[in-house]
Chain A
Amino acid sequence: MTAKADGPVTAELEARAEKAESRRGLFLALPSYIYLLFLFALPLVIIGVYSFASRSRTGMPKLEAWNLDSITKLFTDDLVRSIFARSLIVAVLTTTFCLLVGYPFAYYIATRSEKMRNLLLVFVMIPFWTNFLVRTYAWRVLLGEDGLITELGRFLNLWDSMLFTLPAVYIGLIYGFLPFMVLPLYAAIERLDWSLIEAARDLYASGWEAFRKVTLPLTKQGIIAGSILVFIPSLGAYVTPDILGGAKTTLIGNYVVNQFLTARNWPLGSSVSMAIMVVMLIATIWYFRSGAKTL
């Protein structure tokens, strides 16, 4: 075979190999592809459609009388609006608290010796993997009528039982989601190039200045990742406010569950859960955007 004839033949072989390659890729992904199309994408579309349906007497959506009632209710109904606003505030404040507590904590772990770091991390991982329900229940015990924290508050004359109030919900949420904040922060701080901070100090930056102008910007990725990981579950929280909160602390997650399982207004439940998802998508897109900027 001459060198000239060799060219097109290899090209054809390569094209065929590439085709086989792409068939194999699709073949491997196909089972989960189909699964997620049916059990994720399709349900998502259906719930979107249901937001426009009207409610029949049994609570099941009627699929003929299409309207915007459930959507406009998001913006006009006082109850829905106040619950949504409360949930946003709770999610933002929970994220802020977790960041304020988690940053110095992650900094502490990241600046220990390697052996110590690994040990300290294991002790963060244990609550991270521990059953969420059990962890929330533990606070019901501590904050209850004769719980340890209540007794302490009475002894100090500072607080009584906080159970079924908003502070209890905050404690539960922070307790539940703090590890989500600590782990990405730790990863960011641990990667830090310490010589840059030294350089700042050599140039007569104060400790605080060096932190604000060097450390903080360099760990921005971890701050954003941790914040998103705390914000999303706090916004959709259901178990924590249900166990630790009361009637006056209903959050949007409880409201959705109520619409589906008790009040049986599926169209309204659908539109509210779509609204939660939209807020979450905006947060996630913002995260990827800001990630792209710093990279």
Chain B
Amino acid sequence: MTARQSTTLTRRLDRFLTGHAWLVYLFFYLPILVLIVFSFNESRFFTWEALSLRWYRQMFANDNLMAALWVSLQVATISTIVSTVLGTAAALALERYKRWLGKRTFDALLYLPVIIPDVTMAAMLLVFFTSLGQQLSITTIVLSHIAFNISFVSIVVRARLANLDPSLEEAAADLYAGRWQAFRKVTLPLIMPGVLGGALLALTLSLDDVVITQFVKGPDTLPTFVFGLIKRGVTPEINAVSTLMLTASVVLVLSSLALQRKK
């Protein structure tokens, strides 16, 4: 490949591409780095004073913030578990069973939540809950998060299933494994990276969502609470929260990469 490249890419073009790529990486990482650095700054302003954990202490002492974090963790956990189970079952139904009643409608219905804009989905769900006379609460947040997460989980699991050789499951059936046994001993271990990858995506999306939660929330989640703080102005306390959220995201990326390695 490298020999071919040297014929297709001139040296000058390559230098341009390299420089451009470095600039893009700088664009990606400069804002994140600035946030992290200033979250450890003693001063309230964006001029460096001294290394300090002041804003982290202040963050952990903020009861409202801790309450929002707790709501977020509950919402993310429950919605991830439910949507992973439902989304995996949906993926199996679509990939492993050729014909069944309403399959094509279901396929389309499953795609829509992925491509619909957040504001439209948020408005829909708010109108729906209110017209049912449902009080907005943590339950309505969980129900809404499940509604968009099922689709994302099923897409990830379907991708895994599509790359899988069905003859392995057939072999299990030939060896007189029952359906459940074949699923548990053969199919499930094989699709497990996909299932966990889908679950991680669901977890990330749930912890990321501002717009839909903003519409259907009873209590604040961490993102809607932080969003409110940001709108009131910039404080180093938000930098500290952001750094923690960032750390959580990086842990999630690294775990998802570790899962992909298992392929």
- Measured CA separation A33–B256 after assembly (Å): 27
Do residues B25 and A134 form an inter-chain contact, with CB atoms below 8 A?
A: no
Do residues A194 and B1 form an inter-chain contact, with CB atoms below 8 A?
A: yes
- Asked whether B155 is an interface residue with its Cβ less than 8 Å from the other chain, the reply is no
- Asked whether B13 is an interface residue with its Cβ less than 8 Å from the other chain, the reply is yes
Do residues A131 and B4 form an inter-chain contact, with CB atoms below 8 A?
A: no
Do residues B239 and A273 form an inter-chain contact, with CB atoms below 8 A?
A: no
Do residues A232 and B115 form an inter-chain contact, with CB atoms below 8 A?
A: yes
Name the B residues within 8 Å of A26 (CB-CB): 93, 100-102
- Asked whether B57 is an interface residue with its Cβ less than 8 Å from the other chain, the reply is no
Do residues B89 and A238 form an inter-chain contact, with CB atoms below 8 A?
A: no
Do residues B106 and A148 form an inter-chain contact, with CB atoms below 8 A?
A: no
- Asked whether B144 is an interface residue with its Cβ less than 8 Å from the other chain, the reply is yes
Do residues A284 and B115 form an inter-chain contact, with CB atoms below 8 A?
A: yes
List which A237-267 residues lie within 8 A (CB) of chain B: 238-239, 242-243, 253, 256-257, 260-261, 266
Interface size (A, Cβ < 8 Å)? Answer: 90
Do residues B103 and A257 form an inter-chain contact, with CB atoms below 8 A?
A: no
- Measured CA separation A207–B100 after assembly (Å): 52
Counting residue pairs across A and B whose Cβ atoms lie within 8 Å, the total is: 273
Do residues B8 and A198 form an inter-chain contact, with CB atoms below 8 A?
A: yes
Name the A residues within 8 Å of B45 (CB-CB): 146
Do residues B17 and A22 form an inter-chain contact, with CB atoms below 8 A?
A: no
Which one of A3-11, A65-73, A104-112, A154-162 contacts B?
A104-112
Do residues A257 and B211 form an inter-chain contact, with CB atoms below 8 A?
A: yes
Do residues B17 and A108 form an inter-chain contact, with CB atoms below 8 A?
A: yes
- Asked whether B86 is an interface residue with its Cβ less than 8 Å from the other chain, the reply is yes
List which B74-113 residues lie within 8 A (CB) of chain A: 86-87, 89-90, 92-94, 96-103, 106, 109-110, 112-113
- Measured CA separation A47–B116 after assembly (Å): 14
Do residues A133 and B227 form an inter-chain contact, with CB atoms below 8 A?
A: yes
Do residues A147 and B46 form an inter-chain contact, with CB atoms below 8 A?
A: yes
Name the residue on A nearest B12 (C-beta): A207
A197 and B154 in contact, given A25-B103, A233-B117 (Cβ under 8 angstroms) = no
- Asked whether B124 is an interface residue with its Cβ less than 8 Å from the other chain, the reply is yes
List which B17-75 residues lie within 8 A (CB) of chain A: 17-18, 20-21, 24-25, 27-32, 34-35, 38, 45-47
What is the interface of chain A mostly: helix, strand, loop, or mixed? helix
Name the residue on B nearest A207 (C-beta): B10
A108 and B106 in contact, given A29-B93, A141-B38, A198-B4 (Cβ under 8 angstroms) = no
- Asked whether A94 is an interface residue with its Cβ less than 8 Å from the other chain, the reply is no
Nearest chain B CB to A117's CB is how many angstroms away?
11
Q: When the two chains form the complex, which single residue of A41, A132, A260 contacts B123, counting CB atoms closer than 8 Å?
A: A260
- Measured CA separation A220–B34 after assembly (Å): 36
Do residues B93 and A261 form an inter-chain contact, with CB atoms below 8 A?
A: no
Q: When the two chains form the complex, which single residue of B13, B35, B86, B238 contacts A32, counting CB atoms closer than 8 Å?
A: B86
List which B207-259 residues lie within 8 A (CB) of chain A: 207-208, 210-211, 214-215, 223, 226-227, 230-231, 234, 238-239, 242, 245-246, 248-250, 252-253, 256-257
Nearest chain A CB to B221's CB is how many angstroms away?
11
- Asked whether B163 is an interface residue with its Cβ less than 8 Å from the other chain, the reply is no
**7 A-B contact pairs sorted by A residue (CB < 8 Å):** A25-B98, A36-B109, A39-B146, A104-B16, A126-B249, A175-B27, A269-B123
- Contacts from B to A (Cβ < 8 Å): 1-2, 4-5, 7-10, 13, 16-18, 20-21, 24-25, 27-32, 34-35, 38, 45-47, 86-87, 89-90, 92-94, 96-103, 106, 109-110, 112-113, 115-120, 122-128, 130-131, 143-144, 146-147, 150, 154, 204, 207-208, 210-211, 214-215, 223, 226-227, 230-231, 234, 238-239, 242, 245-246, 248-250, 252-253, 256-257
Which A-B residue pairs are the 9 nearest by beta carbons? A236-B117, A25-B97, A138-B31, A25-B100, A43-B128, A29-B93, A43-B124, A28-B93, A22-B100
- Contacts from A to B (Cβ < 8 Å): 18, 21-26, 28-29, 31-33, 35-37, 39-44, 46-47, 50, 60, 101, 104-105, 107-109, 111, 113, 120, 122-135, 137-142, 144, 146-148, 175, 178, 194-195, 197-198, 201, 207, 210, 232-233, 235-236, 238-239, 242-243, 253, 256-257, 260-261, 266, 269-270, 273-274, 276-277, 280-281, 284
Extra contacts besides A131-B223, A138-B35 (4): CB < 8 Å: A130-B253, A175-B28, A178-B27, A194-B5
